[in-house]
Amino acid sequence: MLKRQNPSTPEHRRDLAAHGGALSMSLNDSRSFFNLSQLVLSAGQIKPSPALKHSKITYFEVEIVDVQSKKQICIVDKVPPASTLLDVKHKFHKACPQWYPSRVGLQLERNGPFLKDSVSIQSLAVSSIVTLYFTDLGQQVGWTTFFLTEYTGPLLIYLLFYIRLSTIYDQVESRKNFRHPVVHLACFCHCLHYIRHLLETLFVHKFSEGHTPLKNMIKGCAFYWGFTSWIAYYINHPRYTPPSFGHKQVSYAALAFLMCEAGNHFINVALAHQTNSGNRTCFPSPTYNPFTWLFLLVSCPNYTYEAGSWISFTVMTQTLPVGIFAFLMVIQMSLWAQKKHRLYLKRFYPEVRRKAAMIPIIF
């Protein structure tokens, strides 16, 4: 007879335990893999962590070369693309303190025009190295200083002659001779003219960037101050003779002078308002102010009124120095007007093509 094997023997229990343990481990692995799969599916596609992007800024090197000797003066390095030419001039001034920014003239080509301070370096760059040619512009002054100095001199000089200093005129003759009313009127008109210029320089005109050489201011002051001395000496002289046609000539000329001064002021205000508002898409148009209606005939009415002021002053005083000064001023302003008229033709052709520059039909 065969004996039935007792299932509770130790060997049997060990086999069951081993088999049950392996089965439980396989079930646990299956459940863990299933749970991991469910987690991945619910979380979506695994995305790699984004890599840090480092922005790379390209810097330029600006080589400053002397325009005459073609020798390198210095290299301005690490210039950002957004930098302007004025920024380069400031860095150049730090490297070479003897040349301050307003004295530095930079050109892209040796015979090319001087670049404006607002030009960006990136617009000039063809490669990472930008070569600019340097020119010493000499000692510079600002435009406000230029005009204030130029206009203050005639105002003070004329008053010195008007009070008849003993160093200029003979005091005995000055007390003996009676002053004609036109002498006082001429002093008022002359002072009014230059006071208007000074006030407009301070409060109306908005000067653009840039400076002018000191020698230009010296030449301008020599011209205005010299002619003022000559004009004032004759008008305020004790032996000055009044105009030939008397009171009518003085009155009509003085009225024309005041109208031209008022027109010049209103035109300058209109031009300044156009610049400040930023509306430069069309040529200035006349307003309800009658003094601005001259825009219908000429493109530079401020020069027209300026010339009219000096012509009226010549008729009012009837002196040769004033006539010569007025003649030179008309010539100079006509040249300025024609130059500005050509610029207007390029910018506002439809509006300006039928207008004259300064004087209708003639200029």
Residue 206, classified by CB atoms within 10 Å of its CB into exposed (0-12), middle (13-18) or buried (19+), is exposed
User: Is the Cβ–Cβ distance between 315 and 307 less than 8 Å?
Assistant: no
Per residue of the chain (363 residues), give pLDDT as tens: 334 444 444 454 444 444 455 444 454 555 555 555 554 445 545 444 444 444 456 788 999 999 988 899 999 988 998 899 999 999 999 999 988 898 999 999 988 889 988 899 988 888 888 999 999 998 999 999 999 999 999 999 999 999 998 889 988 888 888 899 999 999 999 999 999 999 999 999 887 766 889 999 999 999 999 999 999 999 999 999 999 999 999 999 999 999 999 999 999 999 888 755 555 567 777 889 999 999 989 999 999 999 999 999 999 999 999 999 999 999 999 999 999 988 888 888 777 777 888 987 654
Pair (252, 150) in one structural domain: no
3-state helix, strand, coil in the chain (%, to 5): 60, 10, 30
Pair (304, 269) in one structural domain: yes
In-domain check, residue 307: yes
Strands (E), the chain: 60-66, 72-79, 104-107, 129-136, 140-142, 211-213
In-domain check, residue 8: no
Residue 6, classified by CB atoms within 10 Å of its CB into exposed (0-12), middle (13-18) or buried (19+), is exposed
In-domain check, residue 47: no
CA gap 36, 28 in Å, rounded: 12
Pair (189, 214) in one structural domain: yes
In-domain check, residue 27: no
CA gap 264, 193 in Å, rounded: 10
Question: Which of 307, 305, 306, 283 minimizes the C-alpha distance to 296?
Answer: 283
Range of 126's domain? 60-138
Pair (336, 255) in one structural domain: yes
Cβ neighbours, 10 Å, residue 194:
20
CA gap 362, 278 in Å, rounded: 32
Pair (105, 67) in one structural domain: yes
In-domain check, residue 124: yes
Pair (132, 159) in one structural domain: no
Query: 35: left (phi > 0), else alpha (psi -120 to 50), else beta?
Result: alpha
CA gap 317, 243 in Å, rounded: 6
Domain boundary among 192, 212, 241: 241
CA gap 302, 293 in Å, rounded: 12
Number of structural domains (the chain) is: 3
Pair (214, 281) in one structural domain: no
pLDDT digits (tens, 9 = 90+) for 281-318: 677 778 899 999 999 899 999 999 999 999 999 999 99
Pair (201, 291) in one structural domain: no
Domain boundary among 191, 218, 241: 241
Pair (352, 248) in one structural domain: yes
pLDDT digits (tens, 9 = 90+) for 167-206: 899 888 888 888 999 999 999 999 999 999 999 999 998 8
Pair (105, 134) in one structural domain: yes
Which stretches within 236-348 are classed as H helix?
A: 246-277, 301-317, 320-347
In-domain check, residue 301: yes
In-domain check, residue 19: no
In-domain check, residue 266: yes
Domain boundary among 83, 107, 138: 138
